[in-house]
Amino acid sequence: MKILAADDSRVSRNLIKAILEEMDFEVLAAENGLEAWRIFEREEISLLISDWMMPEMDGLELCRRVRAAPHRPGYTYIMMVTAQDGLKNFVTAMAAGADDFIVKPFEPEMLRCRIRVAQRVLAMQHELRALAAALPFCGACDTIQNDPGSQQRLHDFLSSRPELKPVLGTCPTCAAKA
């Protein structure tokens, strides 16, 4: 997982970088929002950890740009790490597209825990994308388009894939008829 840490404070940036490297992540670092945006444009970033107040471009604008970026191969989890505390700032960061919000100063273990949460969310997102790609479903005729010219009923398709077994069930209406 590639992580981008953006903070204009060298001390904060180095602390975050050290924690992430200790967790065996590949870490890219930027000292302002514009530099972070340029890195984001050319790299596949899974997690962006950004300060709010930075020169060139602040963390909120960086957040908005990341969310508005054209289709990317995967979801980028955004964590705002800032001295801007309070409910109003939390709501503002979330509205800009942040997924998490940590107030400085923070305990290193707090950041580690939140990164593990981000990993779980990203893993679920990856599984969801894989499932969607594996399920070329036509809602009009309830069939799966397996190969060109080949169709399969949805139930048969799901039954043939053990990893999708939990999806199969009986709705209350059908259960009442049985």
Per residue in 62-93, pLDDT (tens digit) is 999 999 987 777 889 999 998 988 999 999 99
pLDDT at 162 over 70: no
CA angle, residues 125, 128, 133, in degrees to nearest 5:
125
Query: Which of 48-52, 69-73, 153-157 has maximum average pLDDT?
Result: 48-52
When comparing pLDDT for 168 and 84, which is higher? Answer: 84
Q: Which domains can be identified in the chain, with CATH numbers? A: 2-131 (3.40.50.2300), 135-177 (no CATH)
Cα distance between residue 117 and residue 139, in whole Å: 34
Close Cβ partners of 94 (under 8 Å, ≥ 6 residues apart): 101
pLDDT at 165 over 60: no
Instruction: Work out whether strand 143-145 and strand 151-153 pair parallel, antiparallel, or are unpaired.
Output: antiparallel
Residue 94: the pLDDT is 92
CA nearest 99: which of 122, 85, 81, 78? 78
pLDDT at 153 over 80: no
